[in-house]
C-alpha cells in the first residue's frame, strides 16, 4: 500500500510526472526501433532457426526480442557495456587513464568520451559477427542462411549497409539512454536493457503455457523464481559497514571533523559484470566451432562437434561447471580491480580519518582488503549459484520452454532498486514518504 501511495504522490508532482512520462516515451521509441528489420533478412529462415535452437533464443532475451526480428537494435547497448568494461580494466594499467580518473568530474567525462569512441568499432565488429553467427548456426541445423550473400567477397555494398545500419542502431539506443539519464528517471543504459528484458517476459510466459506444462509445475517454477529474486535483493543490498573516526582539525578558528562515519563494503561489488565475462568466454568456443561443423575431414568434424556440444548453453554439464567456476573467479578479480582504483586507504588518510584500532596507510589498506575478500567469497558463491540457476530450475520443474537468465534477473532487480532509490530521493526532497524506510 505504501508503494502505491508513493507512486500516487510522485505522479502529483508536475516535474516528477514529466520525468516519468519522458522516460516512458523514450522506452516506447526504443521498442519501436526494436521492430525495424535490417535489410536483406530472410524472416522465414530466421523463425525456423529460433524454433529449433535454444542458443539463439538465449541471445534473443538479452536483445529484448530484437534479434528474433533481426532489427537494427539487435545488438542493444552491449557494445557500449563491453567498451565500459574494457576501459575500467585499462584505467589502472595505463598511467594516462589513471591520472584522468583522479581529476574528478572532468576526468570521468573524458574517459566516458573515450568509451563512446571505443563503442563504435566494437559495435561494427559485433555487427559483422552476428550475421555470421546466425548463418553458421542455421547451417549447422540444416537450414538456409538467415542473410544470403553476406560477406564483402560476395556482396560488399549490402554487407557494408548491414554493418552500418546495426552500428547506427546501437549508437541511437545509446543516445536515447543518455537522454533518459539526463532528463528522465534512472540510468538510461540500464533502463534500455531493462525494457528489452521485460518486453520479452510475456512471450516467455506464453511459451511456457503453450507447452502444456502442469499447473503444479508452473507454480513450483513461479515460487523458485520469486525466491531467486528475493535472494538477489538480499545479497544486492548486503553491506559490511567499517567504522571510521574522523580526527578533529582546527582551520581558522573553526573545528572540522570529530564525527564517526563508516565505509560501506558491498557483498556483491562486481554486480553482473562477472556473469557477462563468463558467458562471453563460454560462448566463444561454441561460436568458433560452428564455422567448422561441415568440414569433410571426419577427425576434425568429430573434434569440432564435441567442442560445440560441450559448450552449448542448456545442454552440457561441462558448460554449467565452467560457468560457475568462471563467475566465482571473475567476481574476485573484478572486485579487487575496483578496490585498487578507489584508493580508499589513501583518501581516508588525506581526510584525517582512520579505522579504530588500525593504523592509517598500508595497514588500513590490508585490513580493508582482508574484510573485502571474506565478504566477496559469499557474494562470489551466490553469483555462481545464480549463474547455474537456469539449469537447476529446469531440472526441478522440467520446463524447457522457459529460459531463465541469471544476468537478466540481476539486471531487472538491480535497475528496479536503483530506480526506486532515485524516486525515493525525489520524494524525500519534497517531504513525501518514499518506498524505502
Q: Tell me which of 193, 210, 227 is where a domain ends.
A: 210
Q: Tell me which of 167, 189, 210 is where a domain ends.
A: 210
- The whole-model pTM stands at 0.74
Place of cell 537522454: 179
Together in a domain, 141 and 257: no
Question: Which SS3 state, helix, strand or coil, does residue 412 take?
Answer: helix
* 286-306: pLDDT as tens digits: 666 656 656 667 777 677 667
Helix intervals (H) in 213-316: 215-236, 273-290, 298-310
Most confident of 105-109, 175-179, 221-225: 175-179
Helix intervals (H) in 184-256: 188-210, 215-236
Together in a domain, 226 and 133: no
Q: How, if at all, do strands 254-256 and 239-246 pair?
A: unpaired
Together in a domain, 79 and 206: yes
Together in a domain, 278 and 343: yes
The phi-psi region of residue 64 (left if phi > 0; otherwise alpha if psi is between -120 and 50; otherwise beta) is left
Residues near 27 by beta carbon (within 8 Å), at least 6 away in sequence: 180, 191, 192, 195
Together in a domain, 33 and 129: yes
Residues near 232 by beta carbon (within 8 Å), at least 6 away in sequence: 386, 409, 410, 413
Together in a domain, 185 and 238: no
* 339-392: pLDDT as tens digits: 877 778 887 877 777 888 888 888 888 888 889 889 999 888 988 888 777 777
Tell me how many domains the chain contains: 2
* 101-122: pLDDT as tens digits: 777 778 878 888 899 999 999 9
Together in a domain, 401 and 271: yes
* 232-245: pLDDT as tens digits: 778 877 888 888 88
User: 320 pLDDT exceeds 60?
Assistant: yes
Mean pLDDT of the chain: 77
Residue 3 lies in a domain: no
Residue 428 lies in a domain: yes
Write the CATH number for 58.
Answer: 1.10.3370.10
> Would you state the cell numbers that stand for residue 128, as one nine-digit string?
559483422
Residue 8 lies in a domain: no
Pick from 387, 267, 410: nearest CA to 327:
387
Residue 295: give the domain boundaries. Answer: 212-437
Q: Tell me which of 160, 184, 210 is where a domain ends.
A: 210
Residue 10 lies in a domain: no
Within a 10 A sphere around the Cβ of 24, how many other Cβ atoms?
A: 14
Which neighbouring-strand residues pair with 244? 261
Amino acid at each position: 500500500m505504501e508503494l502505491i501511495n508513493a507512486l500516487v504522490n510522485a505522479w502529483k508532482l508536475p516535474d516528477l510526472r514529466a520525468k516519468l512520462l519522458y522516460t516512458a516515451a523514450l522506452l516506447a521509441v526504443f521498442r519501436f526501433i526494436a521492430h525495424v528489420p535490417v535489410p536483406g533478412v530472410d524472416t522465414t529462415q530466421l523463425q525456423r532457426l529460433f524454433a529449433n535452437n535454444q542458443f539463439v533464443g538465449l541471445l534473443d532475451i538479452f536483445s529484448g526480442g530484437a534479434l528474433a526480428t533481426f532489427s537494427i537494435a539487435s545488438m542493444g547497448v552491449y557494445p557500449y557495456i563491453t567498451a565500459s568494461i574494457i576501459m575500467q580494466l585499462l584505467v589502472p594499467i595505463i598511467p594516462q587513464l589513471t591520472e584522468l580518473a583522479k581529476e574528478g568530474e572532468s576526468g570521468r567525462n573524458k574517459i566516458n568520451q573515450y568509451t563512446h569512441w571505443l563503442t563504435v568499432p566494437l559495435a561494427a565488429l559485433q555487427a559483422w559477427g552476428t550475421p555470421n553467427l546466425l548463418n553458421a548456426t542455421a547451417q549447422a541445423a540444416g537450414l538456409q542462411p538467415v542473410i544470403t550473400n553476406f560477406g564483402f567477397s560476395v556482396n560488399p555494398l549490402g554487407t557494408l549497409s548491414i554493418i552500418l545500419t546495426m552500428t547506427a542502431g546501437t549508437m541511437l539506443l545509446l543516445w536515447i539512454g543518455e537522454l533518459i539519464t539526463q532528463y528522465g528517471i534512472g540510468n538510461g543504459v540500464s533502463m534500455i536493457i531493462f525494457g528489452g528484458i521485460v518486453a520479452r517476459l510475456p512471450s516467455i510466459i506464453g511459451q511456457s503455457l503453450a507447452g502444456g506444462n502442469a499447473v503444479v509445475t508452473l507454480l513450483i517454477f513461479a515460487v523458485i523464481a520469486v525466491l531467486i529474486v528475493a535472494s538477489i535483493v538480499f545479497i544486492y543490498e548486503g553491506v559490511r559497514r567499517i567504522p571510521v573516526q574522523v580526527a578533529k582539525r582546527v582551520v581558522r578558528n573553526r573545528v572540522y571533523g570529530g564525527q564517526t562515519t563508516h565505509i560501506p563494503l558491498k557483498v556483491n561489488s562486481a554486480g553482473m559484470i562477472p556473469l557477462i565475462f563468463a558467458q562471453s568466454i563460454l560462448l566463444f568456443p561454441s561460436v568458433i566451432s560452428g564455422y567448422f561443423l561441415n568440414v569433410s575431414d571426419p577427425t576434425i568434424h568429430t573434434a569440432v562437434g564435441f567442442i560445440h556440444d560441450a559448450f552449448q548453453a542448456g545442454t552440457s554439464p561441462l558448460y554449467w561447471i565452467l560457468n560457475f567456476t568462471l563467475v566465482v573467479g571473475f567476481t574476485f578479480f573484478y572486485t579487487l580491480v575496483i578496490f585498487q582504483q578507489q584508493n580508499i586507504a589513501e583518501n581516508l588518510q588525506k581526510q584525517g580519518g582512520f579505522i579504530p584500532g588500525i593504523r592509517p596507510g598500508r595497514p588500513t589498506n590490508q585490513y580493508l582488503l582482508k574484510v573485502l575478500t571474506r565478504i566477496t567469497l559469499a557474494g562470489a558463491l551466490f553469483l555462481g549459484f545464480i549463474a547455474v540457476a537456469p539449469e537447476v530450475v529446469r531440472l526441478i520443474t522440467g520446463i524447457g520452454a522457459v529460459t531463465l537468465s541469471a544476468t537478466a534477473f540481476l539486471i531487472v532487480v538491480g535497475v528496479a532498486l536503483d530506480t526506486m532509490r532515485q524516486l525515493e530521493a525525489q520524494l524525500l526532497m519534497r517531504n513525501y514518504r518514499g518506498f524505502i524506510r
